Amino acid sequence: MQKEALEYSRFHELAVLGLERARAVLSAYTGRPLRLAAVRSDYVELNRVPFLSGPPEQVVLSSYVTFSGDIEGQLLIFFRPESVEKLASLLAPHVFGPLGGQRSAALLDSLIGEIANVVGSAVLNEVADGFNIKIVPVPPVIVREMAGAVISTATAYAGLDGDSAYVAYMKATLDEENASFEIVFLPRMGNLQGTSQKTV
Amino acid sequence: MRNSLVVGLAEVKWSVLPEDVLVAFSLGSCVGVALWDPVLKAGAMAHVMLPSSSRGRKPAENGVDACRISRFEKPGKYADTAVEYAVRCLTAIGAEPSRMVVWMAGGAHVIPGFTLPTGDIGAANIRAVSEALKRLGLPEPRQDVGGDYGRTMRLYVGEGRATVYSVSRGEKEVSMGNRQCGKGEKGCRRCWLSTMPCS
């Protein structure tokens, strides 16, 4: 149990380092400082999982990434509608800014997919390097749906034993809360313990 | 004054208070099952996450039957144990399974292009809940299942009606559809249910 806790703690550290790297990249893209507002990881009771990123019925644009390899799991990034517009106008002002041209849902999805790629690859690479393991992510899927429905479905896909899920939760904000996104990491339970012999 | 009781992921809750509304928020691949006894005006709801309590388990080395949920798991997590537990909650206070009104919602495929090697969990949950209801002698459910969108299910305990809310479709009652015999024959449970105040 102690060993398990240590590995989850290391996992948490690495995920935060990865997010820090993603933060630097996104700050450079937008020319504004991106801050990590909340970072925590713990076992969460299943009945609380749909409420992790706020009201479960709130519609969000989410990016869903699964990964396999030496560990399996899922990485979800939630963008609230008001944040999506703000982030989009900062990242692609020529399209989504006040003087921007034609906007489309497909373009917005593509932009969100790019942010997910930057954040997801930074976090997963850091975890893979830190544990000296192989992690293979699949390209992100963009979903517009109730936050609770997406996260509870992801939890069901994880096929967890027991009544709790190990979750790493992070929130990044830009421009004093006007633009933020939340990252929920659901590594599959039991996978991390198997990585210990590969840890350097 | 209504009082909402949230039925969280893997939970089962029940009530006899007429002001209570049992709510399962944001069902994705999960399935919400609601039961209501028209005589007692008592209702129960389960928020089912996975199809079977024997899913992916192997018999334990000590010979103990591993096809039961462990003491660390809630009965509402799996379709088979959730339906059984919800029925037990209501029968313990005198409800009759054969006269219960049953609703089922959820089981959607909300993440496009992603399916487990074992298949679609939403569809498997719908099948498993239907089988459990049948096995326990409960009437066929009124249902709003499948599709690719999330739903919130509510059971109004005092009124014996259930609604489903989705972002694209708004809130609507979960109806029986046209699956009654239509002749009002004695013994046709669906026709009998259609005469109940809830329908």
pLDDT of residue A164 exceeding 70, the answer is yes
Q: Which residues of B touch A143 (CB under 8 A)?
A: 110-112
Alpha-carbon distance A63 to A183, whole Å?
9
Q: Which residues of B touch A56 (CB under 8 A)?
A: 25-26
**Which of B23, B70, B111 to mutate to test binding with chain A, by most A CBs within 10 Å of its CB?**
B111
pLDDT of residue B65 exceeding 50, the answer is no
Superfamily of domain A2-198: CheC-like (3.40.1550.10)
Q: How many helices (H) and strands (E) does chain B have?
A: 3, 10
Q: How many domains does chain B have?
A: 1
The answer to whether the beta carbons of residues A195 and A70 sit under 8 Å apart is yes
Which ranges constitute the DSSP H helices of B58-174? 79-91, 121-135
Task: List the single residue in A with minimal CA-CA distance to B120.
Answer: A157
Assess B107–A contact: CB distance below 8 Å, yes or no.
no
* pLDDT, mean over chain B: 83
Alpha-carbon distance B176 to A32, whole Å?
55
Alpha-carbon distance A131 to B31, whole Å?
37
| Tokens, residue B123 | 């569809």
Alpha-carbon distance B135 to B174, whole Å?
22
Please enumerate residues of A whose Cβ is less than 8 A from a Cβ of B.
45-50, 56-57, 59, 64, 66, 141, 143, 145-150, 152-157, 159, 161-163
Q: Can you tell me the mean pLDDT for B73-96?
A: 92
Identify which of B56, B110, B121 has the shortest CB distance to residue A149.
B110
Q: Examine residue B64 and state whether it is found in any structural domain, yes or no.
A: yes
Contact criterion met (CB < 8 Å) for B150 and A145: yes
**Confidence at residue B150, expressed as pLDDT on a 0 to 100 scale:** 96
Contact criterion met (CB < 8 Å) for B26 and A50: yes
pLDDT in tens, B46-59: 999 999 877 544 44
Identify which of B29, B113, B165 has the shortest CB distance to residue A156.
B29
pLDDT of residue B89 exceeding 60, the answer is yes
pLDDT of residue B197 exceeding 50, the answer is no
Q: Which residues of B touch A152 (CB under 8 A)?
A: 9, 26-30, 49
**Confidence at residue A100, expressed as pLDDT on a 0 to 100 scale:** 60
| Straight-line distance from the first to the last Cα atom of chain B, in angstroms, rounded to the nearest whole number | 22
Q: Can you tell me the mean pLDDT for B29-33?
A: 96
pTM over 0.90: no
Could you list the residue range(s) of the whole structural domain that residue B20 is in?
A: 3-194
Alpha-carbon distance B7 to B22, whole Å?
7
What SS3 class is residue B162?
strand
pLDDT in tens, B11-26: 999 999 999 999 999 9
**With pLDDT > 90 as the criterion, what percentage of chain A qualifies?**
10
Enumerate the active-site residues of B: 30
Q: Which residues of A touch B56 (CB under 8 A)?
A: 159
Confidence of residue A188 (pLDDT cuts 50, 70, 90): confident
**Candidate ranges A40-44, A83-87, B90-94; pick with highest mean pLDDT:** B90-94
Confidence of residue A192 (pLDDT cuts 50, 70, 90): low
pLDDT in tens, B134-192: 999 999 999 999 999 999 999 999 999 999 999 989 999 997 643 444 455 444 445 54
- Residue B179: CATH number of its domain: 3.30.1330.200
Strands B101-106 and B142-145: parallel
Q: Examine residue B71 and state whether it is found in any structural domain, yes or no.
A: yes
Residue in the structure block whose two tokens are 């801050």? A35
Give how far A140 is from chain B: nearest CA, Å.
11
Q: To 5 degrees, how large is the angle CA B132–CA A156–CA B47? A: 50
Q: Examine residue B199 and state whether it is found in any structural domain, yes or no.
A: no
| Tokens, residue A20 | 């820090």
Number of residue pairs across A and B with CB atoms under 8 Å?
Answer: 105
